[in-house]
């Protein structure tokens, strides 16, 4: 009856059009692939403060585990956490315990390279990085000049919240420097100059009297000792003998201070050649390596290139907002690094904020969601 009524209302041409439309919209699905994961978010009722429920406190592990099935970048973040946990738990296979091809290395586990850009130190992420260094969660660090000086300067005075919309000309008149929505009074850099110039004098004196060869990493080690402040990343790197490499040490306020110092007390030499040998040697001697790279630019490439010396890292997690379409290294996906030999073809790797590359199945990634305990 309905069909007859539709036919009467639509006519043969209308029925044909309706059939085409329904055929396009109501296409039948094939069965979903085996072991497919259902998208579902965190059930907050389990952790509700309602006294009528048997709620418990939400742990960070449960929260991160729920992110795996949330989708989008939440899933990528959860996968990244698990890859990092695998880095931390790696142990050499028994058959490699007497492997003669490995050079002597003090680290029997996975050697973890941490790279980060200066803006993270300017922000509150600094405290998270300091925790990792304080508790020896990483083996080696690469950062920019700002990643060093901002850490030191925060021990001398504060950085403040501002706004992305503040007028640059007005800020300049007030002596306030803007980093995104953060503000750093220029007086902080004046205090930094007062603090570091005498240290540069000492470095130069030791260079002349003891024939001491300073490298960026040995200079940073000394700055960590001199700042003697437990809030500092550099301090804990000094205490725990974790090298901090900074191939662009002069690209920032540190460079300004070295420049000023060269007029009043010239002659300080900083040798970058020794540092490239040092970081490459760490990579070559490692039994296993993992890269955690926050941001892009020189910190990303310096770590990746060091891992080229051992035919690639075993693990890699990139967290950045870069795009690959301009051909920059900052935006390059992990698979591009595979083509250069900087990441092993069978490595576990992930680019958080853009896409997943070569990650294993859910059953392997959904276990052990612990964040640097």
Percent of the chain whose pLDDT exceeds 90: 76
Q: How far is CA 252 from the centre of its chain?
A: 21
Which residues, in sequence order, are bridge partners of residue 313? 343
Give residue 15's pLDDT band: very low, low, confident or very high (50, 70, 90): confident
Burial per residue of 294-324, b for 16 or more beta-carbon CB atoms within 10 angstroms, e otherwise: bbbbbbbbbbbbbbbbbebbbbbbbbbebeb
Per-position DSSP letters for 19-33, written without gaps between them = HHHHHHHTPPPPPPP
Distance CA 318, CA 296 (A): 9
Phi-psi region of 92 (alpha: psi -120 to 50; beta: other; left: phi over 0): beta
Distance CA 68, CA 80 (A): 10
Residue 350 has a pLDDT of 79
Which tens digits make up the pLDDT trace of 173-208? Answer: 999 999 999 999 999 999 999 999 999 999 999 999
Instruction: Compute the half-sphere exposure of residue 123: CA atoms within 13 Å on the CB side of its CA.
Output: 11
Which tens digits make up the pLDDT trace of 145-164? Answer: 999 999 999 999 999 999 99
Distance CA 192, CA 145 (A): 14
Which tens digits make up the pLDDT trace of 62-100? Answer: 999 999 999 999 999 999 999 999 999 999 887 555 444
Residue 47 has a pLDDT of 87
Per-position DSSP letters for 30-67, written without gaps between them = PPPPTTPPPP----GGGG---TTS---PPPHHHHHHHH
Determine which helix (DSSP H) or strand (DSSP E) holds 318, and give its type and residue range. Answer: strand 313-319
Determine which helix (DSSP H) or strand (DSSP E) holds 308, and give its type and residue range. Answer: helix 298-308
Taking residues 30-42, report their average pLDDT: 92
Which residues, in sequence order, are bridge partners of residue 293? 115, 318
Give residue 105's pLDDT band: very low, low, confident or very high (50, 70, 90): low
Cα Rg of the chain (Å, integer): 27
User: Tokens 């992305």 correspond to what residue?
Assistant: 164
Q: Take residue 149 and report the two structure tokens written for it.
A: 């000086």
Q: Take residue 271 and report the two structure tokens written for it.
A: 């040798």
SS3 category, 108: coil
Residue 349 has a pLDDT of 86
Taking residues 32-42, report their average pLDDT: 93
Whether 344 sits among the annotated catalytic residues: the reply is: no
For 139, phi then psi, to 5°, come to: -105, -30
Give, as one character, the DSSP assignment of residue 103. Answer: P
Taking residues 293-303, report their average pLDDT: 97
pTM, two decimals, is: 0.87
Of 137, 342, 344, 348, which residue is the catalytic one?
342
Q: Which of 59-73, 79-93, 309-323, 355-369 has the lowest mean pLDDT?
A: 355-369
Determine which helix (DSSP H) or strand (DSSP E) holds 346, and give its type and residue range. Answer: strand 343-352
CB count within 10 Å of CB 239 equals 16
Distance CA 323, CA 148 (A): 26
Residue 11 has a pLDDT of 77
Task: Say if CB 145 and CB 254 are below 8 A apart.
Answer: yes
Distance CA 343, CA 155 (A): 37
Give residue 46's pLDDT band: very low, low, confident or very high (50, 70, 90): confident
Which tens digits make up the pLDDT trace of 268-287? Answer: 999 999 999 999 999 999 99
Q: Take residue 296 and report the two structure tokens written for it.
A: 């892009």
CB count within 10 Å of CB 74 equals 16
């Amino acid at each position: 009856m309905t069909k007859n009524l539709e036919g009467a209302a639509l006519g043969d041409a209308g029925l044909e059009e309706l059939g085409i439309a329904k055929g396009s919209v109501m296409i039948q699905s094939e069965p979903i692939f085996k072991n497919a994961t259902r998208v579902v978010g965190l059930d907050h009722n389990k952790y509700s403060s309602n006294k009528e429920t048997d709620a418990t406190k939400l742990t960070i592990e449960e929260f991160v585990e729920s992110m795996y099935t949330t989708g989008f970048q939440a899933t990528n973040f959860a996968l990244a956490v698990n890859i990092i946990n695998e880095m931390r738990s790696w142990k050499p296979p028994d058959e490699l315990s007497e492997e003669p091809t490995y050079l002597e290395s003090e680290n029997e586990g996975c050697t973890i390279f941490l790279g980060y850009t200066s803006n993270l130190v300017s922000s509150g992420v600094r405290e998270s990085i300091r925790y990792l260094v304080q508790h020896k969660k990483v083996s080696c660090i690469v950062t920019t000049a700002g990643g060093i000086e901002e850490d030191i300067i925060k021990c001398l005075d504060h950085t403040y919240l501002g706004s992305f919309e503040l007028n640059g000309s007005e800020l300049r008149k007030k002596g306030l420097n803007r980093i995104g929505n953060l503000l750093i009074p220029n007086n902080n850099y004046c205090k930094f100059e007062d603090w570091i110039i005498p240290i540069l004098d000492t470095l130069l004196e030791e260079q002349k009297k003891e024939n001491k060869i300073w490298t960026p990493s040995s200079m940073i080690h000394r700055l960590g000792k001199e700042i003697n402040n437990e809030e500092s990343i550099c301090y804990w790197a000094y205490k725990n003998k974790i090298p901090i490499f900074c191939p662009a040490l002069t690209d920032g306020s540190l460079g300004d201070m070295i420049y000023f110092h060269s007029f009043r007390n010239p002659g300080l030499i900083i040798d970058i050649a020794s540092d490239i040998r040092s970081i490459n040697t760490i990579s070559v001697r490692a039994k296993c390596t993992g890269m955690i790279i926050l941001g892009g630019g020189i910190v990303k490439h310096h770590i990746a290139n060091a891992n080229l010396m051992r035919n690639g890292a075993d693990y890699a997690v990139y967290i950045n907002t870069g795009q690959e379409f301009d051909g920059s290294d900052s935006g390059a996906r992990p698979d591009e690094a595979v083509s250069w030999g900087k990441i092993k073809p069978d490595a576990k790797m992930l680019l958080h904020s853009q896409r997943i590359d070569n990650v294993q199945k859910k059953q392997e990634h959904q276990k052990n969601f612990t964040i640097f305990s």
